[in-house]
Chains A and B, each alone.
Chain A
Amino acid sequence: MTGAETAVVRVVRSWARFYTRGLPVGDRERRRLELESDLWEHLHDPDEQVIARSVLGRFLRGIPADVRWRYRTLLDSRGARQRSHDMTTTTRFQWWTPTTVVIGVSLIALALLGLGFGETESGGWIIALGWLTAATVLLAGVAMLRWRPLIGSWTVIAGAVLLALAEPLAAPLSVVVIIGGLWSGGLVTSRRGAETTITLAPRQSALTERWYLWLVAAAALGAIGFIVLLVWPSVTPENCTEANPCWQDSAAWAAWILSWMAALVSGVIGLILGGLRMLVRHRTRLA
């Protein structure tokens, strides 16, 4: 085997390990072994001439199909588990969903507030438009998660990227949402014991089931807000000069307000949902 062939085979194997990770053992092993056999046959085929390029081409052109196959296999295995288990035991809460909803709502509120306070000069309306767009995409993605988990996840990821582009100081929030989106899309899975755990799309009841996670999301967002201000101390309003008119000024304050508003909204929603749940439980117990 030439150096190029060795490198390409290594890439194909790594990719196969990546996209079959977390799948049921039967599907995973079959795909890997079949691919291994295919690679061997390809490398030892006397009719093939530029083998490395040919293998690389087959690998690259097959990536979309690999991703779709993985998604379909995850859905099938999830369906099989849901048929054999009680729904409440298999559905897992999407830890990142409240965070995303809160970010989306806060962004809309901030953009509207900014426009309302006349932040339309010096391109403020462009920033507001960027926030509104990012928020709309984020919330649309969350809304789609239940019915079209893959499309929803990728939409949320797109919204998070837009958020980072529209407001670089909000990049840490985007990272949280992107990780959540990858998780939900089945591209990242977790293992618990011997059985593979696949995160499912959120169900409406699950959003209220573990209300305290809203509070966790609130605390996390508040912390992120402080970290942003600590890491970029130069963007506090006192450091702005006439020579350096602070577009950063409004950005820093926006990040600060965003974090605190997110924390506030998360906390309030968490308390309302928690209170409602306790009330329902109390009434059920009485009945």
Chain B
Amino acid sequence: MRRKPGAILPLEASILETVIGLSRAGVEQFHGFQLAKQLRSDEGQRALTAHGTLYKALTRMEKAGLLDSVWEDPDIAVEEGRPRRRLYSVTSKGRVALAEVKAEMAGLSKLDPGLSGP
């Protein structure tokens, strides 16, 4: 089944929730592995999000304008002796999208108390 244009998938909502949480904690930019760890901790999962699932979601979210990303300054990576990181940050559109998802879920949970949002 094709997804509707502009629709947010549960994983994307979780990512937005997590990165907005990171942003509140003062972390404005994050890399893929950092996000996978944070997601595991926030969602109470046992395993880290799979490579394919994570990077596919991040690419899709960036294309949708929910996230922004840049390559890290190569000098920093060389100095720390590791590969360069792709650094993501949430956009204002991403914040609005998450707020809309939450509002929608709140509306649904009023109709059916069994439902709970991300």
Contacts and interface: CB of A to CB of B under 8 A. Distances in A.
A37 B50 contact: no
B51 A62 contact: yes
A42 B85 CA distance: 13
B86 A33 contact: yes
Contacts of A45: 33, 37
Contact of B33 (A33, A38, A64, A66): A38
Interface stretch (B15-23, B53-61, B92-100, B101-109): B53-61
Contacts, number: 77
Interface in B56-106: 56, 59, 82-86
B51 A35 contact: yes
Interface in A20-47: 30-31, 33-38, 40-42, 44-45, 47
A44 B31 CA distance: 14
Contacts of A65: 50, 52-53, 56
Given A41-B34, A58-B48, A65-B53, 9 more contacts: A31-B55, A38-B31, A44-B82, A57-B47, A58-B49, A62-B53, A65-B56, A66-B51, A68-B56
B118 interface: no
Contacts of A47: 37
A35 B55 contact: yes
A250 B1 CA distance: 44
